[in-house]
Amino acid sequence: MGSRHAALTDTPSAKKKKKTPSLESYFVHCCEDAESSGTRFGLCRDMWDKIKADTEVLQDELNRKILDSLLDFTRKSSSTHHHSDWTSQMRASEIPTAALMLGVNVPDHDMTFQSLSDLLQQSVTPHVASVQAKECGALKHLMKKVLERLMNTVVVVDEEDEEENMQTSTQLHRSVHCSLRILCDWYIKCATGTPGKKRSCPVRDEQQQPPVVIIFKDLEAFNPRVLQDFILICSRYIDRLPLTFIFGIATSPSTIQHMLPYSVSSLLCIELFQSLSCTQHLATVIDKLILTPCIPFKLNGKVMQVLISIFLYHDFSVRNFIKGLQLALLEHFHSQPLSVLCCKKKQALLNVMQLSQPNLERIRQLPSFKRYVEKLEAQEQVNLMTSDTHLKEVCQKLIKDLRKYHKNYYPVLRCLHTLTSSLPRYPLGKQIRELHLICLEKNVWENEDYQSAMKLVKMLAKDELVALLQRCVEILQSSKSKNMKNALVQLEELLAKFKQLDSAAEMAPTVEASITSPIKNLQKKTDLFQLQKTLLEMNESRRAKRLSPFENLRNEALEFIDGLVKSHLSPPESQTLYEVCYYSSSATVRRHLNATPRTSIQAALSSPYYYLQNDRLKTDDGTVSSAAPDICIAYKLHLECGRLINLYDWLEAFTTVVSAGEGNDPDSENFGKVDEVKHARFIRAVSELEFLGFIKSTKQKTDHVARLTWGGC
């Protein structure tokens, strides 16, 4: 009601928006709370822009090393090309080739190739062409694409005009058939800059010639025959045309040897370049985008789990992961009116003051807020429920608390990860994302794995422990929050104590004296019962024995860490107003990113009501109304059959149901009779089912069809 009212008052601006259908109008359309939708759209866009910019920077940083080495490679290969010493005259002129190992996450490759060709064009050579397997079915097409991309990008129109008289023949036929000879002539013309006699004499100057780079984006998908011929042709021109190949390989470099016979691969001078693995890539992305208080938008444990499992189980694609993040972001701002508060601190505090009446009511309805209120005194509870201004003030405080929570959460998470990531069997996970998921789920310190991890930490040698604590100090140093600064001071004190121990280490006397006596006893007695008793005693005494100063200190350090964890790593659900920042609808994300076509078809067939929105089709669960579309009836009937379905029985059942649907009198003579129309309808329904893949004809029995699907999923 409130939202409709708001929409009415907002008509002028809404009308304006409608005139120019933009992204915003799509966003605002059928949005939860229309009033704040504009603001939310702005926030959402800003945040996405920031995420996008961040990922691009990240991508560039991650790829820098491999791209730099590739650039070096192309530069080097072009410079070594025109040596005139004995060796280079003698050796076969091979085509320099970079085998770029990219991993199987094919969707991510585009971005890498894009930045590679951009960088090449900027700094090495203007002549870069990238080709994809799907556009090069035959040698002709490959040739054409390469020539088009190389020559069109550089050749200026008026320059061509000058050449027209001389090159009419080639110009005329260029679109019909293109050979590398034309490319070669064109290249020489480009390189010299002066139109004239080509076939430049081999004893030309040593001047740097820009190489011609051809990038094969997906080597595996190329037809080997086409590739072989292309390489053979290119090798004929290598002394005139400084070609360089870059092969994008998704699997392993032995693919080259599988695809190219020796006679062809001996024409190439292949160098291997290994790019970063996609899991490392994802780890960095998560580190920079998710595990940071800078971006207020957060994913809850389940959504995070969905995105990560899509990555690990299905595609290994970082690009798709970020797309998933984008989807969650959009959905959050679209569906949650309170997401106006999900932004930078200043803006959020401002937005709190401008919250509308319905939104304040929404806050009061939030489960986390209710929990918060219940803990307060009665008077305060009443105040919050009745006074809007008071609520706003409290909200401001709560928003600040939430921010503080995030500021403390991430550094402590990192510290805990540093301590536990190198333990044997990785009780809390090898990657920080695993630990993060555990922490999002529930109180991490109640987890069994946490306890065993802590026990393992206790077993660490002193220097290992000190090194880990030192790294924790470094992590805490980068944090600006007040709590973290306090923690830093304490941790540094502890470390200092550890160092003091070092100097005092030699002085510590051994406690062995106490143990020796039972061992002596043990040697005397051979009775089994006595033995057990003494062993137990020994155990007791060892446990009770005075701890060494190191052990004391270690326990102190661990208690400190435990304290930090307990106070800062509680799951976000325990925080008041967490709904503002956390997106939690994992089902939506899963539905959008990991579609299940068969499930939806089956759902449509078994409950057509939801799709057709026709009340007549509404039935109790399990049954299908006889007024449903034919295919639904046929589908429902076929579910009751075994592996083979008798077509005639099926037809009979079908006509009975359909007749009942038509309202015929069950006692009349024609009821359930197969007439031509029903027969035709049945045949159509069956063939539709066959088209959808539920049945197929079988040779075992001529009047039967075989059922193909089983089970609910």
Site residues for another protein, 121-180, by CB under 8 A, read 138-140, 143, 168-169, 172-173, 176-177, 179-180
Q: For another protein, which is the closer residue by CB, 320 or 576?
A: 320
Please report how close the Cβ of residue 676 comes to another protein at its closest, in angstroms. 30
Rounded to whole angstroms, what are the CA distances from 193 to 187, 200, 209?
Answer: 9, 12, 12
Binding another protein by CB under 8 A: which of 11, 87, 152, 702? 87
Strand partners, 274: 101
Cβ 434 vs Cβ 312: under 8 Å: no
Closest distance of CB 601 from another protein, Å? 11
Nearest CA-CA partner of 48 in 324, 260, 236, 301: 324
Q: In the complex with another protein, which residue's Cβ is closer, 85 or 669?
A: 85
- Residue closer to another protein by CB (options 248, 629) is 248
Q: How far is CA 55 from the centre of its chain?
A: 12
Among 7, 270, 349, 460, binds another protein (CB under 8 A): 270
CB of 66 to another protein, least distance (A): 15
* CA distance between the termini of the chain: 39
| By CB under 8 A, residue 258 contacts another protein | yes
> Based on CB atoms, which residue is closest to another protein, 279 or 477?
279
DSSP SS3 for 476: helix
Closer residue to another protein, CB minimum distance, 88 or 530: 88
Q: Does 280 bind another protein (CB under 8 A)?
A: no
Separation CA 364–CA 388 (nearest Å): 10
List 79, 279, 356, 447, residue binding another protein (CB under 8 A) = 279
384, two tokens: 């919050």
- Closer by beta carbon to another protein, 47 or else 212: 212
Contact 572, 298 (CB under 8 A): yes
What's the rounded Cα separation, in Å, for the pair 416 and 435?
Answer: 9
Across 534-670, the runs of DSSP E, i.e. the strands, are: 582-583, 644-646
> Would you call 535 helix, strand, or coil by DSSP?
helix
CB of 329 to another protein, least distance (A): 21
The window from 29-37, 192-200, 229-237, 418-426 that contacts another protein (CB under 8 A) reads: 229-237
If one asks whether residue 306 binds another protein (CB under 8 A), the answer comes out as no
Q: Is 90 in the site for another protein (CB under 8 A)?
A: yes
d(CA 214, CA 238): 13
At 91, list the tokens: 């050796």
**Alpha-carbon span 645 to 639, nearest angstrom:** 10
Instruction: Specify the stretch interacting with another protein by CB under 8 A; choose among 257-265, 333-341, 650-658, 668-676.
Output: 257-265
Which residue, 567 or 697, has its beta carbon nearer to another protein? 697
Cβ–Cβ under 8 Å, residues 247 and 98: yes
> Which of 253, 518, 549, 571 is in the footprint of another protein by CB under 8 A?
253
C-alpha Rg value of the chain to the nearest Å: 36
The smaller minimum CB distance to another protein, of residues 279 and 626, is found at: 279
Q: Does 700 bind another protein (CB under 8 A)?
A: no
Nearer to another protein, 316 or 582 (CB): 316
Task: Verify binding: residue 218, another protein, rule CB under 8 A.
Answer: yes
Q: Output 352 or 593, the one with its CB closest to another protein.
A: 593
Please report whether residue 324 would count as binding another protein according to CB under 8 A. Answer: no
Length of the chain measured in residues = 713
State which of residues 111, 250, 276, 350 lies at the interface with another protein (CB under 8 A).
Answer: 250
Which of 9, 22, 80, 668 touches another protein by CB under 8 A?
A: 80
Of 103 and 572, which has the nearer Cβ to another protein? 103
Pairing type for strands 243-249 and 95-101 reads parallel
- C-alpha 310/C-alpha 593 separation (Å) is 8
| CA atoms of 408 and 487, how far apart (whole Å) | 10
Q: In this chain, which of 1, 11, 30, 92 binds another protein, going by CB under 8 A?
A: 92
DSSP secondary structure code for residue 340 in this structure? G
State how far the Cα of 307 lies from the Cα of 320, in Å rounded to an integer: 9
As a whole number of angstroms, the distance between CA 555 and CA 557 comes to 5
Answer yes or no whether residue 256 interacts with another protein by CB under 8 A. yes
- Our finding on whether 378 is near another protein (CB under 8 A) is no
Q: Nearest to residue 630, comparing CAs of 659, 665, 590?
A: 659
Please identify, among the stretches 92-100, 395-403, 490-498, 626-634, the one whose residues bind another protein according to the rule CB under 8 A. 92-100
Distance CA 434, CA 436 (A): 5
| H/E stretch holding 644 | strand 644-646
Who contacts 209 (Cβ-Cβ below 8 Å, separation ≥6)?
A: 78, 81, 82, 191, 242
Asked whether 706 and 698 are in contact (CB, 8 A), the reply is yes
- What x-and-dash track marks residues 334-373 binding another protein by CB under 8 A? ----------------------------------------
User: Measured from the CB atom, is 16 or 225 closer to another protein?
Assistant: 225
Find the binding residues for another protein in span 389-428 (CB under 8 A). Answer: none
Stretch that binds another protein, among 21-29, 85-93, 150-158, 325-333 (CB under 8 A): 85-93
Site string for another protein, 589-608 (x = CB under 8 A): -----xxxxxx---------
Residue 391 CA: distances (Å) to CA of 361, 398, 504: 10, 10, 58
CB 633 within 8 A of CB 626: yes
528 binds another protein (CB under 8 A): no
Letters for 95-114 (x = contact with another protein by CB under 8 A, - = none) are: -xx-x-x-xx-x--------
435 neighbors 429 (Cβ within 8 angstroms): yes
Q: Residue 233 interacts with another protein (CB under 8 A)?
A: yes
Q: Which is nearer to another protein, 179 or 548 (CB)?
A: 179
Burial class (CB in 10 A: 0-12, 13-18, 19+), 509: exposed
**Distance between CA 381 and CA 378 in Å, rounded?**
5
Give kind and range of the element (H or E) at residue 638: helix 630-639
Complex with another protein: residue 140 or 485, whichever CB lies closer? 140
- From the list 198-206, 273-281, 382-390, 468-476, the region that binds another protein by CB under 8 A is 273-281
Name which of 189 and 334 has its Cβ closer to another protein: 189
What binding mask, one character per residue, do residues 490-509 give for another protein by CB under 8 A, x or -?
--------------------
Which of 35, 108, 220, 630 is the binder for another protein (CB under 8 A)?
A: 220
Rule CB under 8 A: say whether 254 interacts with another protein: yes
Pairing of strands 298-299, 268-274: unpaired
**Which listed residue (316, 450, 498, 583) binds another protein by CB under 8 A?**
316
Nearer to another protein (CB atom), residue 460 or residue 706: 706
Residue entry with tokens 């209120």: 373
